[in-house]
Chains A and B, each alone.
Chain A
């Protein structure tokens, strides 16, 4: 996987699910391994969707916080504001692209044992990925 593409996706996901005093963020939830797995196991179209979502996130601060900069150059507070506002953009396709990236990130963040423990949920057993072969 190209490190830059992956780092762009990670950037968007970390901004959407940041670490806070109250809860671990997606950077504490194995995002890098998750993205490697997602790239390998999902379809090309789904991966392209994530890339599109990440680029939409990076390119849209001008529309949300009115800063003419890519999101990775925004100061932390403005980035957080962008991450919030972009999820409810007036542009349906932008909203959908961000929804996709938020959904994929949610699959990673919400399945992590540290996050689940905060909500009194037992850790997930591993997904065996097996089937009846004969």
Chain B
């Protein structure tokens, strides 16, 4: 077994394995461990460094520097510039996410069958989800770790009369530190750097970290390996070149933005490459309460509702963002901003994720940076606004004295009798501060090669030994958190690959 970290120039690396997996996040780690369990020799090639919990940062600045892809500064270009947040580290985005675990809804498989001719995945995906839940010790947020924000949300939803629940997460024994975004130093969150990646090593595999893949090497129509150059984890200076040969196949799992860009610069030809980018754009509404909420304590995300998934197409959740981010998220500046921040202990943010139908594109840009073009159409903006109204009503039902909508052109704060003002909130996305964290598409699967990059087993149409196994194959929005679906799909694809 071997882990190869950053190497200086001149110390070039050549390695060979049965399977080469690009990326060690949700999809990559799940695919790699499945292949390794089949007895194959697997090499995981990961752009980011391998950071163990004792290496994790504490501050948000440290998280952006050490864990986020490009410091979290990648923007979706549309009418508004909304950031796309992903990680670049061994374990991928599972290191910085909230580990919320939701089984793939049945209607999604029906939709994929109807729209893309994909059959026979449902039972297999659910079976893998059973395994994942057992292995990654999924549990409901325990009572002592719930924190006031999550409890208030539960109260608000029940008073407002809709269904909601404590979240189930890939977290065993959460201590409620509210630090999921900076990596869980308590090792409670089961990010893939703690389990599946080490298991691949233990089964005789390899992990090459700080090693962004530049190209998949393709001979004729067959993928034969990957090449790239090490990147120093701190200085970002280039190091040695590497080439890792794949005896059987290359599995690309570099994320929704990086997988299509990597295939594009590798010369893969597909009319659907980079198309059908989708997301769950989301924003938050703060509520301000008489009693201190201390939103920084308790599980980062502990409460959710899927009651509005079908209509109007929303998921609601609590979210404790770090204090540093609250400082910039509240509107205003100068003495008035500081005055507003004095209320910090009394506020908490709840957010929505919109099951948006709008689609965008991903292209390989300058310096191999993915370029995402994406904006929300009017229907999606109506959903977006509707979500904010629901959050506002839930806050007031929970006893908030006011809410902070954070919408440009609207009052800073609204009282309980002013919620109706939100019904006329602008539909211009530039009026909102939103982020994209659940991403889909770019290498979508389907039976028709004119409209899909891969088939229903993740194999790139028209190529041999080239599989995609991450969120980029997902051809629709899920309306629920995607990690569980991504991991189970990747396991199903890897299982098929191993049996070929």
- A residues adjacent to B (C-beta < 8 A): 15-18, 20, 22-23, 25, 41-43, 45-46, 49, 79-84, 86-88, 92, 95-96, 98-99, 102-103, 105-111, 116, 119-121, 124-134
Contacts and interface: CB of A to CB of B under 8 A. Distances in A.
B60 interface: yes
A76 to B, nearest CB: 10
Contacts of A128: 54-57
11 contacts: A16-B334, A17-B338, A18-B338, A79-B334, A95-B408, A98-B333, A102-B327, A105-B327, A106-B324, A107-B59, A127-B62
Interface in B47-77: 49-52, 54-62, 64-66, 70-71, 73
Given A129-B234, A133-B5, 13 more contacts: A41-B65, A43-B73, A82-B334, A84-B336, A103-B328, A106-B324, A106-B328, A127-B59, A129-B55, A131-B50, A131-B66, A132-B51, A134-B5
The 4 closest A-B pairs by CB, nearest first: A127-B62, A110-B324, A83-B334, A106-B327
Given A23-B342, A111-B324, A15 B5 contact: no
A119 B342 CA distance: 8
Interface residues of B, number: 55
A117 to B, nearest CB: 12
B81 interface: yes
B357 interface: no
Given A43-B70, A46-B73, A124-B59, A106 B325 contact: yes
Contacts of B342: 22-23
Given A88-B332, A109-B327, A127-B66, A45 B73 contact: yes
A127 B334 contact: no
B12 interface: no
Contacts of A18: 334-335, 338
B326 interface: yes
B399 interface: no
A92 B430 contact: yes
Contacts of A125: 58
B334 A15 contact: yes
A119 B52 CA distance: 29
Contacts of A130: 51, 54-55
Given A45-B73, A106-B328, A110-B323, A132 B52 contact: yes
Given A129-B66, A133-B5, A120 B73 contact: no
B396 to A, nearest CB: 24
A107 B324 contact: yes
Contacts of B209: 131-132
Contacts of B333: 15-17, 83-84, 86-87, 98, 102
A32 B66 CA distance: 21
A17 B64 CA distance: 21
B377 interface: no
A86 B337 CA distance: 12
A43 B334 contact: no
A86 B336 CA distance: 13
A107 B60 contact: yes
B331 A87 contact: yes
B81 to A, nearest CB: 6
Contacts of A116: 323
Given A83-B334, A92-B430, A110-B324, A43 B71 contact: yes
A64 B244 CA distance: 57
B3 interface: yes
A91 to B, nearest CB: 10
B3 A120 contact: no
B338 A110 contact: no
A25 B338 contact: yes
A60 to B, nearest CB: 12
B338 A127 contact: no
A111 B60 contact: yes
A132 B50 contact: yes
B341 A23 contact: yes
B345 A120 contact: yes
Contacts of B5: 131-134
A133 B6 contact: yes
Contacts of A79: 334
B322 A110 contact: yes
A99 B323 contact: no
Contacts of B90: 132
B135 interface: no
Q: Which of B6, B70, B336 has the most CB of A within 10 A?
A: B336
A32 B322 CA distance: 22
B233 interface: yes
Interface in B302-334: 322-328, 331-334
B296 interface: yes
A119 B70 contact: no
B309 to A, nearest CB: 31
A127 B65 contact: yes
B496 interface: no
A126 B65 CA distance: 13
A68 B61 CA distance: 36
Interface in B451-469: none
B294 interface: yes
A18 to B, nearest CB: 6
B243 interface: no
Contacts of B56: 128
Contacts of B73: 43, 45-46, 49
Given A86-B333, A106-B327, A131-B55, A96 B81 contact: yes
Contacts of A45: 73
B344 interface: yes
Given A20-B339, A110-B324, A127-B62, A88 B331 contact: yes
